[in-house]
Amino acid sequence: MNSREKIQAVISEMNKVVVGQERLINRLLIGLFSGGHVLLEGVPGLAKTLTINTLAKVLDLHFHRIQFTPDLLPSDLVGTMIYNPLKGEFDVKKGPIFAQIILADEINRAPAKVQSALLEAMAERQVTIGDTSYLLEKPFLVLATQNPVEQEGTFPLPEAQVDRFMMKVHLNYLTKEEELEVMRRMSDINHVSDPKTVMNLQDIYTIQNEINDITISETLERYIIELIFATRNPADYGLTQEANYVQFGASPRATIQLNLAAKVTAYLEGRDYVLPEDIKEVAPDILNHRIMLSYEAEAENITTLDIIQTILNTVAINR
């Protein structure tokens, strides 16, 4: 099979287990092939954990699931030094962060010290234990789930950490037909879905090299820049009302990752060039966690997605 056939095989195997989450699967693949972490937000029961677990099985990558809880310690995540009386010295015991795919389940239930420990791994792809830094395996991908912050027992994630996530994907309930299919599948208490491994590490490297060859015109590169600057200075683009709603816009990291995500989207669509539709498709997920709204926006029930859609509708492509 060629690379695109293997991608279709991955999607097919995941659909054997997961129902009605095509967009979620697409976003996870974009994160995988671009090396970007993905944050998933939604109420419990939307198959977030199941989808990530299934992806790890299909890809034949080293996988760890970490349940984040209020009593979790940084050493529970990265590891610690343990004294060995026979040797008379300390040995390193590595934590579960040493894997290629990390499922950080309910990430916003852990306190700030744990989030700080995870931040180094996400940003630098390394972990420091004692005086020594250890490189993490490649690819290293954090796929985190979080419950809405209004729920009891949750902590808002630090802005610096949220910005390390390439995308924040909001999940909605299934349709009636999709939920009917879930109910029918689970009516058999002995039902076991065992997806096959259809892609390995070398396949991922091959696909990433092919994505590097995807072309994007200078016109679309400048369009990405205009979109990012419109989040920072809406008034410069005639969005005077939105200027009152936005406190801070997207960071330069958003510029880089919007470009990468658009290229992966084009690749998954079977093209070797980027279209404006590719940028618009992924822009909401790239930008929605990077725009900080003012109190006025919250008072008027204006969301970041509202702002992003207005920007996409307003900013023109200068050919």
CATH of the domain at 101: 3.40.50.300
Above 60 in pLDDT, residue 152?
no
Instruction: Report yes or no on 188 lying in a domain.
Output: yes
> pLDDT band at 147, cuts 50/70/90?
confident
235 and 111 housed in the same domain:
no
Q: Where are the beta strands (DSSP E) in the chain?
A: 37-41, 63-67, 79-84, 89-94, 101-105, 126-129, 132-135, 141-146, 165-170, 246-248, 292-293
Query: What are 293-318's pLDDT values in tens digits?
Result: 989 988 999 999 999 999 999 999 88
The domain total for the chain is 2
The first and second tokens of residue 262, run together, are: 């658009």
Residue 210 and residue 291 in contact, taking contact as beta carbons nearer than 8 Å:
no
Query: What are 65-77's pLDDT values in tens digits?
Result: 899 988 888 889 9
218 and 188 housed in the same domain:
no
Query: What are 179-212's pLDDT values in tens digits?
Result: 898 888 877 766 667 788 899 889 999 999 999 9
What number is the average pLDDT over the span 158-174? 87
**Cα–Cα separations (whole angstroms), residue 190 to 52, 153, 185, 186, 187:** 22, 34, 10, 9, 9
Instruction: Report yes or no on 150 lying in a domain.
Output: yes
Higher-confidence position of 172 and 198:
198
Instruction: Report yes or no on 207 lying in a domain.
Output: no
176 and 58 housed in the same domain:
yes
Contacts of 311 by beta carbon, 8 Å cutoff, 6+ apart: 227, 230, 231, 234, 237, 239, 242
29 and 164 housed in the same domain:
yes
What number is the average pLDDT over the span 252-268? 96
**pLDDT for res 226:** 96
Instruction: Report yes or no on 97 lying in a domain.
Output: yes
**CATH number for the domain that contains residue 267:** 1.10.8.80
Domain boundary among 154, 177, 199: 199
Residue 292 and residue 247 in contact, taking contact as beta carbons nearer than 8 Å:
yes
Domain boundary among 172, 199, 226: 199
> Which residue range(s) make up the domain with 90?
3-199
Above 60 in pLDDT, residue 151?
no
Query: What are 96-136's pLDDT values in tens digits?
Result: 999 999 999 888 888 888 888 888 888 888 888 888 888 99
Give the rounded distance of the alpha carbon of 175 from its chain centre: 23
pTM (2 decimals)?
0.89
Contacts of 265 by beta carbon, 8 Å cutoff, 6+ apart: 30, 274, 278, 281, 282
- SS3 state at 85: coil
147 and 246 housed in the same domain:
no
The first and second tokens of residue 111, run together, are: 């306190």
71 and 109 housed in the same domain:
yes
278 and 173 housed in the same domain:
no
User: Rounded to an integer, what distance in angstroms lies between the CA atom of residue 195 and that of residue 104?
Assistant: 22
In the chain, pLDDT over 90 holds for what percent of residues?
46
31 and 137 housed in the same domain:
yes
User: Rounded to an integer, what distance in angstroms lies between the CA atom of residue 35 and that of residue 268?
Assistant: 15
What is the overall mean pLDDT for the chain? Answer: 88
> pLDDT band at 88, cuts 50/70/90?
confident
User: Rounded to an integer, what distance in angstroms lies between the CA atom of residue 42 and that of residue 169?
Assistant: 9
**pLDDT for res 80:** 86
Contacts of 27 by beta carbon, 8 Å cutoff, 6+ apart: 38, 167, 169, 285
